[in-house]
Structure 1
Amino acid sequence: MIGSRRNSAYTSLLKVETVGCRFLERINRFVSRVVINGLTHEVHTNNTGRLEDLLVPGTDALCIPISGRKLRYRMVGTSVSGSALYTLIDTSLQEKAVARAISAGAIKGLEGVKVVGRHVKVGNSRFDLLLRMPDGGERLAEIKSAVFYFPEDGSARYPDTITERGRRHIELLGALEGVLIFVAAHPLARAFKPCHRDPEIPRLIGDFGGTVLAVKMAITARGEIILLGDIPVER
C-alpha cells in the first residue's frame, strides 16, 4: 500500500496487487466463480448487496490474492462500459480508503479530523470509524457502499436491496449525531441518492440527525484506489 498522493484530478489512497479475471456467476452472497488465466476459481466477495447491474456473466473484473484456507482470491472490482476505471465493490477496501482520505484531509467537511478508532461497538451495533473532530470532540462514522448506478441521472445509490442492518446503523448513528459517508465507488457517478428498494432508507437519510457526505472512488486496473472528489447528496 502507498500513502495518499494528489494530482489535479484525483487523490491516490491505496495500492493493492490485482489479478485480472472474467466473472462467470455468483454462487452465493460471499462466493463467486471467475476465470483467472484460463482456470476457473471460486473467489470471495465481501459486498453483500445484490450487485446485479455489475456482476454480469462475462464482465471483466479484478481480484486480489488472499490467504484464505479455501479461497485464494477476493473479487474487488468490476469493469464499466465507458470508463477505463473499475467499480470498487470491496467494502473493506472502501473503508480503508475512506480512513486514509480523512487522515489526508482530502474529504470536504472533514478537514482536520483524525481517525482514532475502528469498528467501535455501541450496544448491539458496530460502527466503522471513531473520529476526533478539530474541536477535540469525538463522533462515530459509518461507511456505506453505493455502487448501484442509475445511468438516467448519473446517480450512485444505496441500498440495492432491503437491509435491516443498514436501517439500524443509520437510525442509531443519526441519534448519536454521527457522520454517514456514502462511497459512490462507480466511475461514472455524479451524485448520490438513497434507493427506494428499501423504502425506509430514504426516510432515515432524510431525517438523519448528523452529517451526511458522499465521495466518489474507483480502482484502476493496476490496483490503485483513487478518490475522485466529493459529490452531492440528493435526499
Structure 2
Amino acid sequence: MIVPERPLLKLEAFHCTVKEKVNRFVVRASVGEEELLVHNTNTGRLEDLIWEGNEAYCSPKGGGKLKYKLVAAKTPFGFAVTDTNLQERALERAFELGYLSWARGCEVKRRPRYGSSTFDFELRCPEGRALVEAKSADLASWRGFGMWPDCPTDRGVRHLEELGAFEGRKVVVFVVGFPKASGFVPYCKGDPRVCELLAKLDLELRAVGMYFEPLTSSVVLYAELPALLLEGREEPLPKVVA
C-alpha cells in the first residue's frame, strides 16, 4: 500500500565515499582527502552496497572507539538506509505515529524477551499482544524487490524458530531500505533455512519501504509493501559501477 511519503527521523549526516570493507563491523571511507574508519551496524555481506567508490553517508556516532558510522549507501534506486539501528528507530517512530495500518492503535515496547531471544518490538494492541522481529532487506533484486538474507544467518534462523513458538500474534517485518521497491521476497540462496522456515511457520509477514533522503538528511517512509514467498524467482541486481 502506497502511503504519502513521511519523514520519520532527521539526522546529522555527511557525504562520504566507500574505500573498502575492513571487516564485518568496520568500513574505510573518505571525506574529501581525509580517510575515516566508520562503524557498520549491518552484519550482512552488503556486496551490492559497500564497494570501493560507492557513494554513501556517514553520521557521528555517540561513544565507542569509532567516531562515525555508515548510515546510507547508494543504489540504482536512490540511497538505502544501511544502519540497522537507524532502521529500527525509524520503524518504532512509524509505530508511534500510527503510520502502519497493521499496527495502528497499538502501544509499542522495545526489546521484549521470549525464550532465549530478545526481539525488536512488542505491540500491545486492543486485540492482544504481538511480538515483532525486524529484518533488514537492503539486497535489491533485478525487479526491484528487497531481499533477505544475503548470507547464512544462524541468529536469524534462531529468531524465526523462537518467534514461531510464541503462542500469539507473531510478526516479521522486512525493512526494505531503498526507494521505489516492488516488495519483499526472501533470498533463498543466502540461507535456504530461512525460506524453509518462512514457508513452514505460522508467521505474519509484513514489509515496509523507507529510504535516506540526502536533501533533508532524513529517513523517509514511503510504502507498506507486499511480502511474498517467491522462492528462487529473484536474483540480486548486478553491482553498478559508475
Q: TM-score, normalised by structure 1?
A: 0.91
Q: Which residues of 2 match residues 90-169 of structure 1 at below 5 A?
A: 90-115=83-108, 117-135=109-127, 137-151=128-142, 153-169=143-159
CA distance in 1, matches of 2:39, 2:16: 13
Cα distance in 1 for partners of 2:71, 2:54 equals 13
Hey, what's the Cα distance between the residues in 1 that align with 2:64 and 2:181? 36
Distance 2:180 2:75 in 1: 8
Structure 2, unaligned runs of 5 or more: 230-242
**CA offsets, 1:43-76, max 9 Å, x none?**
0000000000111210110011013342110001
1:217 aligns with 2:210: yes
Structural RMSD (CA): 1.5
Number of equivalenced pairs = 224
The answer as to whether partners of 1:88 and 1:219 remain within 8 angstroms in 2 is: yes
Aligned-pair CA distance for 1:112? 1.3
TM-score (norm. length: structure 2): 0.88
Which one-letter code corresponds to 1:79 in the other structure?
K
Structure 2 counterparts to residues 4-83 of structure 1, below 5 A: 9-81=4-76, 83=77
CA distance in 1, matches of 2:107, 2:31: 39
Aligned partners of 1:67 and 1:129: how far apart in 2?
23
| 2:115–2:162 Cα contact (<8 Å) kept | no
The DSSP-based 3-state class of the residue aligned with 1:109 is helix
Q: In structure 1, how many angstroms separate the alpha carbons of the residues matched to 2:194 and 2:227?
A: 14
Alignment of 1:201-212 (within 5 A): 201-212=194-205
Q: Distance in 2 between matches of 1:134 and 1:101?
A: 18
For 1:10-39, what per-residue CA distance to the aligned partner results, in whole angstroms no more than 9, with x for missing partners? 111111100110000000010000001320
- The one-letter code sitting in structure 2 at the alignment partner of 1:183 is V
**Would the aligned equivalents of 2:140 and 2:147 in 1 still touch at CA under 8 Å?**
yes
Query: Which 10-residue stretch deviates more, 65-74 or 25-34?
Result: 65-74
Cα separation, 2, equivalents of 1:50 and 1:187: 20
2:183: which partner in 1?
191
In 2, are the aligned partners of 1:80 and 1:187 still within 8 Å (CA)? Answer: no
What amino acid is aligned across from residue 122 of structure 2 in structure 1? L
Given the alignment, which residue of 158, 175, 192 partners 2:165? 175
Contact 2:103 2:123 in 1 (8 A): no
Shift of residue 188, structure 1, vs aligned partner: 3.5
Partner SS for 1:10: strand
Deviation at 1:121, TM superposition (A): 2.0
SS in 2 for 1:9: strand
Q: Deviations over 1:188-229 (max 9, x none)?
A: 421100111200111111223231100001011132011111
Structure 1 residue identity aligned to 2:211? A
Q: Percent identical across equivalent pairs?
A: 37
**Which residue number in structure 1 is paired with residue 237 of structure 2?**
none
Q: For 2:103, what is the secondary structure of its paired residue?
A: coil
Q: Which residue identity is paired with 1:133? A: C
CA contact (8 A) 2:135 2:148 kept: yes
Letter matched to residue 162 of structure 2: L
| CA-CA distance at 1:170 after TM superposition | 1.0
Paired residues of 1:175 and 1:209 also in contact (CA < 8 A) = no
